[in-house]
Amino acid sequence: MHSRSLWHRVGLRRPGILLNGRRYCIEHCFEKALAHAFHGVRNVQPHQSVSHRIPLGLLLLSRQQLTVEQLQSALEWQRREGRGRIGEWLQRLGFVTELQVTAALARQWSCPVLHNPAAWPAASRLPQLPMALLTSFLMVPVHYVEPTRTLHMAFAGEVDYSVLYAVEQMTGCHTVPCLALPSFVRGQLQTLCAVNDEIILENAMHIDEMCEMSIAYCARLSPTEVRVARCSPCFWIRLLRQSRAPFDLVFGTSSLHMAAKEKVKATAGVVIQTAKCSLPSRTPNPSHDRPRRAGFGVRRSEWRE
C-alpha cells in the first residue's frame, strides 16, 4: 500500500509524467516504467569504429602530403611510446598540419570540414546539451536551423553516431555531423562552460540506483516529461519542465569524467569536478531550483576553478 503524500493530504492530484509517449503517476507506476526504459537503452549496442575505413596514413600518402619515410617514423614513435593516434604523432613530428589531418579524417567519415566557421551562434539559440557529453566526445554545436530543427555538430576527430542519435532523441532535432579543427572545438568548449542546468553523477550505473536518484530529482523539480538515452559508457536523463530550461542528469563512471576532465584541462583551462552519488534533498526550497552542494552533483557553472 502506498504512503499518502502531501499531494493526497491536500486533496490535489499531481499531474503525471510523460515517458516514452505514455503518462505515469510518480507515486505509483513511474518507477517501474523508468526502470523499463533504462533496461531498454542499456541493451542498445554501443558505437563501434568501422574497421574498413582507409587508414589515415594512406590517405595522406595518396594526397602526397606525406612520404613513406615520414609515415614509418611516426608509426615507430607511436609503437615505442604506446599511446596517441597516428595523426597526433604526424603533427607532433611536424610532418603534416592540423588542417591536413582533419581533412583526411573527414574523408574517412565522408563528412564535410568546417572551414572558417562563422560567428559563434548565441547560446540562447542552440539546443541545450550536457557539457559532460560535449567534452567526452570532443564535439560542439556549430549551427542550428530553427525552421527545420537541424543541428550541425562539429567533431574534433571520430564521429560517434550513437551520441548523435541520443541528441536527436533528447532535443527533437535532426543532427548533421562535420569535422572541425581540434583547436577550434576545444576553444569553443571553453566558451560553452557556463550556464546549463546539469548534474554529473559518477559510479551510479546500477539501474535501481539510477531510478532512485532520477525519481528523487523528479519529485523535487516536477518535470512534465522525462527522456532517457544512452551514450556509451554513460546514461543521459533529461527532465523537461514547463517554461523552464531542461534539467540534465548524466550517470557515468569515474573513467568517463576523468577522460572529459583531461580533454578539456589539457587545452582549454577548464576543470570538470565530479562527485559521488547521493540523493537530493526532498525538502522544497523556494529560493533555489535545485541543490548546490558538491556532495551529490556539480553545477555546470561551477566547473571553473
Per-block mean pLDDT, blocks of 10 residues, the chain (305 long): 46 71 84 89 63 83 93 94 92 94 92 76 76 90 92 92 93 95 89 66 77 90 92 88 90 59 46 43 42 36 35
Backbone angles phi, psi at 150, to 5 degrees: -105, 125
Query: What distance in Å separates the CA atoms of residue 47 and residue 170, rounded to the nearest whole number?
Result: 18
Backbone angles phi, psi at 175, to 5 degrees: -105, 145
- Do the bridges between strand 247-252 and strand 198-202 make them parallel or antiparallel, or are there none, so unpaired? parallel
Whether the Cβ atoms of residue 71 and residue 61 lie closer than 8 Å to each other = yes
**Residue 95: Cβ within 10 Å count:** 19
| E strand map for the chain | 17-19, 22-24, 139-145, 150-155, 174-179, 198-202, 225-231, 234-240, 247-252
Q: Give Cα separations from 57 to 48, 98, 160, 200, 212 (angstroms).
A: 20, 14, 21, 38, 48
Give the orientation angle of helix 182-192 with respect to helix 98-109, to 10 degrees: 90
Whether the Cβ atoms of residue 286 and residue 272 lie closer than 8 Å to each other = no
> For residue 104, what pLDDT is reported?
93
Query: What distance in Å separates the CA atoms of residue 64 and residue 54, rounded to the nearest whole number?
Result: 15
C-alpha angle 299/300/304, rounded to 5°? 105
Burial-class residue 9 by CB neighbours within 10 Å (0-12, 13-18, 19+): exposed
Nearest CA-CA partner of 164 in 107, 200, 123, 155: 155
Whether the Cβ atoms of residue 179 and residue 154 lie closer than 8 Å to each other = yes
pTM for the model: 0.75
Whether the Cβ atoms of residue 142 and residue 117 lie closer than 8 Å to each other = yes
Q: What is the identity of the amino acid at 110?
A: S
Query: What distance in Å separates the CA atoms of residue 20 and residue 35, rounded to the nearest whole number?
Result: 12
Nearest CA-CA partner of 17 in 282, 254, 176, 221: 221
| E strand map for 32-149 | 139-145
Measured in whole angstroms, the distance separating CA 192 from the mean position of its chain's CA atoms is 13
